[in-house]
Structure formats: C-alpha cells, structure tokens
C-alpha cells in the first residue's frame, strides 16, 4: 500500500461497516505514516456537539492499521495489543485530522502513536499503541 487510493480501498474492504460509517478519508500516505480526516457528524457527538471519545478511539485504531500496512508495503493480518489514548481538549462541531505513525517496526510487534487535532492544528488527543502481526 503506497497511495492514498490504495489506503482508501483498504479502508472500504477490510473494516467493519460501523467503522466505515465514521466517514474516514485518507489524505496522505508515506512509509509507516497515514493521515486521515474524521469529518464531523452529529451522530458522532455527545451532548453539546463534542466529538465523542469512542469515535476518536476508533479513528485512531483504524489509522494505525493503515500506517502499519504502509510500513509493511501491504496489509497483513494484525491485532491491537494495546491502545492508550489521552484526551487533551474537547473538540466540537468540526473535523479532526488523525495522523498515525509507526515508531518502531518489528518482526512480530509494531509500536506507534496517533495524534488527533482540530483544523487549528491544536492537539485534541494523543494515543500510543502496540500491534501484533498474526
């Protein structure tokens, strides 16, 4: 997987329908790094229009699967071993940029981080993750 179109096709083919319902759009791909747009949708917001943490966690996890695939040159079966996310500020009524990076690729484990930011570039959430290749 080396192009935005490849990653978008992978998103459509490999992920559960409810993940596809997030409306994620791939905006950039490089080896070990993927950027997505999580468009604001009222269905993903809680009272007051704040984007809910569940949607942000799902977007982060999805972005990292694509980042690992870009590191490997294509998809391989994998599973999330850990995902820890810190929410730094609320984001209401706006899209989020999700950037996932592989920090340390390994033979069986991949370590990464994900940043979620609003259009102003300010960090809204940060996650660290470990994936096992199966």
CATH number of the domain enclosing 86: 3.10.129.10
pLDDT of residue 120: 95
> CB-side exposure of 56: number of CA atoms within 13 Å?
29
CA distance 115 to 68: 15
**CA angle, 73 as apex, 85 and 31 as ends, to 5°?**
55
Residue-level pLDDT at 47:
85
Q: pLDDT for 5-54, tens place per residue? A: 999 999 999 999 999 999 999 999 999 999 999 999 999 998 888 999 99
Per the structure, the complete domain to which residue 38 belongs is given by 4-133
The pLDDT of residue 2 is: 76
Sign for the pseudo-dihedral over CA of 67, 11, 120, 82:
negative
What's the mean pLDDT in 47-67? 96
Q: What is the pTM of this model?
A: 0.95
Instruction: Give the pLDDT score at 1.
Output: 64
Dihedral sign of CA atoms 11, 14, 115, 117 in order: positive
pLDDT digit string, tens, across residues 73-132: 999 999 999 999 999 999 999 999 999 999 999 999 999 999 999 999 999 999 999 999
Domains in the chain, number: 1
- What is the pLDDT, as a whole number, of residue 71? 97
């Amino acid at each position: 997987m080396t192009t935005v179109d490849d990653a978008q096709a992978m998103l459509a083919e490999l992920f559960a329908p409810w993940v596809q319902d997030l409306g994620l759009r791939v905006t950039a791909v490089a080896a070990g790094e993927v950027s997505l747009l999580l468009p604001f949708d009222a269905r993903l917001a809680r009272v007051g229009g704040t984007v809910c943490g569940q949607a942000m966690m799902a977007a982060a996890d999805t972005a990292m699967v694509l980042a690992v695939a870009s590191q490997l040159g294509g998809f391989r079966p994998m599973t999330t071993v850990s995902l820890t996310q810190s929410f730094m500020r609320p984001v209401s009524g706006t899209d989020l940029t999700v950037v996932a990076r592989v920090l340390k690729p390994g033979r069986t484990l991949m370590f990464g981080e994900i940043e979620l930011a609003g259009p102003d570039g300010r960090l809204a959430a940060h996650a660290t993750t470990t994936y096992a290749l199966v």
